[in-house]
Chain A
Amino acid sequence: GQQLNQSPQSMFIQEGEDVSMNCTSSSIFNTWLWYKQDPGEGPVLLIALYKAGELTSNGRLTAQFGITRKDSFLNISASIPSDVGIYFCAGNTNAGKSTFGDGTTLTVKP
C-alpha cells in the first residue's frame, strides 16, 4: 500500500525556535493534510492543502504541497510550550482515504 515517510521522528527544541518537518511519498496524493495529536485525544486538523505548489498559513504554521504532489512540509515559527504534541501528515486519494505518516513528536523546552 501507500506509505508516507515523515521526518524527523522527534524534535527537542527551545521555546522561540522555528521547527520544520516533512513528509515524502512514492505515490501521488490529491490532498495533503497536517494534524496535531495530544495524548489521549484524536488528531486535530491544522492545515489542508489542495493544489500542487500551494503554500498555506495558519497563524504561526505554514505548510506547502509539493509540486510533484509527493511531498509536503510543515513549518512552525517561534515555537511555544503548547506546541508540544505529535504532528502527523496525511495524504488523501480520490477515494477519500487518508494515509498517515508515522508522526513527529515535538518537545519544546521553556
Chain B
Amino acid sequence: GAVVSQHPSWVICKSGTSVKIECRSLDFQATTMFWYRQFPKQSLMLMATSNEGSKATYEQGVEKDKFLINHASLTLSTLTVTSAHPEDSSFYICSATYDRGAWGYTFGSGTRLTVV
C-alpha cells in the first residue's frame, strides 16, 4: 500500500515554456503533499507544502509565481514550472502523507526536468 505515482518521469522543454508535473496517491488520500527539488549529488530541498483545498505554503527563497502548486483533490497535486530556464533543470520529487508524517512519507519516483 501507500503508493505515490509521479508523472512524467522525465521531460525536456525549451526555455520559456511551462511544464506540469503530477503527483498522485494511488491507494490512499493524501491530505498533505510535499514538493522537493534535488540537484545532482545533493540532498532534497523542500520547496513547498501542498494541502488539499488550500494554497500551498512555500519555503523561503522559492518563487511561488514560478512554481505553481495545485492540490485540487485528496489524491492529486501538480507542480507547474512556469517560464522555465536552464537553471530550473533539476530532479523534482513529491511525497505524500495522510497523517502528517506520523508513519513516514511515501515518495514519488521523481521527475527529471531538463530545460534547453
Chain A interface residues toward B at CB < 8 A: 1, 31, 33, 35, 40-45, 48, 50, 88, 92, 94-103
A94-B99 Cα distance, complex, nearest whole Å: 11
User: Any chain A CB within 8 A of the CB of B49?
Assistant: yes
Contact of A43 among B42, B46, B107 (CB under 8 A): B107
Q: Which of B34, B49, B102 has the most CB atoms of chain A within a 10 A radius of its CB?
A: B102
CB A104 to nearest CB in B, in angstroms, measures 11
The number of residues on chain B lying at the interface, defined by a beta carbon within 8 Å of a beta carbon of chain A, is: 27
Nearest CB of B to A63, in Å: 12
* Contact flags B41-53 to A (C-beta < 8 A → 1, else 0): 0111110010000
Shortest CB distance B47–A (Å): 11
| Contact B102–A42 (Cβ < 8 Å) | no
Q: Mostly helix, strand, loop or mixed at chain B's interface?
A: strand
A31 to B101, CA, bound (A): 8
| Main secondary structure on A side of the interface with B | loop
Residue on A nearest B10 in the bound complex, by CB = A40
Pair A45/B105 contact, Cβ less than 8 Å: yes
- Is there contact, CB below 8 Å, between A40 and B105? no
Whole-angstrom CA separation of A44 from B44 in the bound complex: 13
Contacts of B60 in A (CB 8 A): 1
Q: Is B102 a contact of A98 with CB atoms below 8 Å?
A: no
Distance between Cα atoms of A23 and B60 in the complex (Å): 24
